[in-house]
Structures are given as C-alpha cells and as structure tokens.
Amino acid sequence: MRLRLDLAYDGGGFHGWATQPSLRTVQGVLEGALATVLRAPVTVTCAGRTDTGVHARGQVVHFDLAAGDLVGAAGRAGKDPLGGLVTRLNGLLDSDVHVDRVVEVPEDFDARFGALWRRYAYRLADRPDVVDPLTRSHVVTWRRPLDDAACQEATSGLVGEHDFAAYCKRREGATTVRRLLDLRWTRTDRGVVEVGVRADAFCHHMVRSLVGALVAVGEGRRPSSWPAAVLAAGQRDPAVLVMPAHGLTLEEVAYPPDDQLAHRARETRTVRGLDKPDLPESSLSDG
C-alpha cells in the first residue's frame, strides 16, 4: 500500500531535507521515526526538497509499505492504524517537526511528480517596530523600509511561463523553464511583508532570488521594471541577492483528483520546457 504523509517543520535545526551522513536532516529524522514505528526501513519521496534553514507547513511525502507492517505497528490503535501511526510518530519526533496526517492513496500518487503546484511564502519585517522576537525563526529582519507599491508593480512582469535561468542556480542539463502562477507582495496586519509565490515547480534558489530582486525595487535601488528585465536577460545578475533561507516556508502542495494522478505524473516526467528535455531532478528543488 502507498501512504501520503503531510508534515510541518522549523528548518532552523536541520541541514535541509535530504539525508546526509552524520547531519540532522528532515528526511533523516522522519525515516528514522518511521523505521522505529514500522520496524522496517522506509524511504520517503517528498514534494519539495527544502534547503538548510527553509521551513515547511505543508510538505508532502509518499512511501510504500506492506499492509501487515501497518497493522503490527499500530498496536493498540488497531481500529485506526493510520491515526495510531501519526500519534506514535509525533511521540518520537522532536518539537521542531510535526506529522499532520497520514492517509492511504492510490498507487499512482507521487508526491514528487504528481504535484500540480507548490506554494511558498517569504516573510520580511522591514521596520524596527515590526521586529517580533516571537516570529524571528521564520521572519527575516530587513533594515531598510520597503515600498509596497513599487514591489507590487514589479511582480506583474514575472508571472507566466518563462525561462527562469536568471533566477536559478543552474544545474547541468536541467531546464529552467517554469510556470509562475502567482506572485503577490502583501503587507499583513502586523506590518510584516509576505511574498506569496505559486508555480508548477521551482528551480534551486528561485523564490529567494525573486524576492531579492523585489527587495532591490522596494529599497528604491532599482526601478519596478528591473526584475522583468533581469528575467529577459536570461542570466544571473550579481545585483540580485539570494535572500536568507529562514524567511522561506513551503506552505502548500496541490495534487489532482485521484483519477488524474497517473496522467499528471507521466506529464511531469516527459519533456518540459521550450527547447530542451527536462531532467526530473530540476523540478524538485525548493525555491
């Protein structure tokens, strides 16, 4: 049987998502807890492999196991083995990672290739009286005030399907074409800037670079037309800052209805982009 597991974590205490020898990673602690509860090695596949320091509220993974493993592991929670699994996992995990739910999904469900879109948020506090020690884990303090109207204007030139090479850490042979569905610069009621970004997939450092370009506009160093001009130039511009990791949170991943899962996974695995083949790796990195 295939299971989908939704989880949230504070990335501050992890060396990113992917398992690394002798480093604490989210995949490492999650697979460790699963192996303890299920008494068998488990390998999980995630929707967005977050970098060191990046958080998640809506990370999704899938993994497979034999139905018998689950019944054995659930123990006294036999009537609700998946609920029992969640409880036991959260009992083992530290407080910086939390399993929200586990559900059985069709064999066609693929957390990685089946996703329709990923949504990230980047958070900034740009005024001294907005700095809040209670949210310092995931809101970046910015020393100069940012102009909301200029930033909002700058977002419009970036939405759509483009080659985001200028905003990506390039990987050999991987396309950098992505469909940016939404990019919104919002001022919340607490005065924090929240940049919401939604795309079919992101390449490495993409959200943090897009926000870096908007911040240059917000500070008045560049005109509102600049982020789109950088995009059109098609290569990395050293004037675009890659913003600090801890402002970034993977908020949500969306999947199609069950009867379209197989189609979506095939579609993602095939050629993506304008003129070159996609390598699966490229669609997975966090923003």
Residue 119 or 178: the one with the smaller Cβ distance to its own copies is 119
Token couple for 280: 């699966």
Shortest gap between Cβ of 87 and its own copies (angstroms)? Answer: 8
Annotated catalytic residue, options 10, 51, 110, 126: 51
Which of 6, 88, 12 has its CA nearest to residue 48?
6
Residue 286 among the catalytic residues: no
Q: How far apart are CA 245 and CA 247, in angstroms?
A: 6
Provide DSSP, 4-72.
Answer: EEEEEE-GGGSS-SS-BTTB--HHHHHHHHHHHHHTS----EES-BPPTT-EEEEEEEEEE--HHHHHH
Based on CB atoms, which residue is closest to its own copies, 41 or 79? Answer: 79
- CB of residue 225 to its own copies, shortest distance in Å: 34
Instruction: From 93, 78, 123, select the one nearest 5 (Cα to Cα).
Output: 93
| Shortest distance (Å) from residue 6 CB to its own copies | 8
Interface residue list for its own copies (CB under 8 A): 6, 8-10, 55, 57, 86, 90, 95-98, 100-101, 128-129, 131-138, 249
Least spacing, CB of residue 217 vs its own copies, in Å: 25
User: How many Cα atoms occupy the beta-carbon half-sphere of 10 within 13 Å?
Assistant: 11
The answer for residues whose C-beta is within 8 angstroms of residue 122's C-beta and 6 or more apart is: 140, 194, 195, 197, 207, 208, 211, 243, 247, 248, 249
**Would you say 27 or 224 has its CB closer to its own copies?**
27
Considering the complex, state which of residue 55 and residue 205 has its C-beta at the smaller distance from its own copies: 55
Minimal distance, residue 138 CB to its own copies, in Å: 5
Beta strands in 80-157 (DSSP E): 97-105, 117-125, 140-141
| Rg, C-alpha atoms of the chain | 20
CB of 70 to its own copies, least distance (A): 18
Please give the helix or strand (H or E) that residue 208 lies within, else none: helix 206-218
Nearer Cβ to its own copies (45/90) = 90
Spatial separation of the C-alpha atoms in residues 55 and 58, rounded to whole Å: 9
Which 8-state DSSP code applies to residue 285? B
Nearest to its own copies of 131, 229 (CB atom): 131
Among all residues, which ones are annotated catalytic? 51
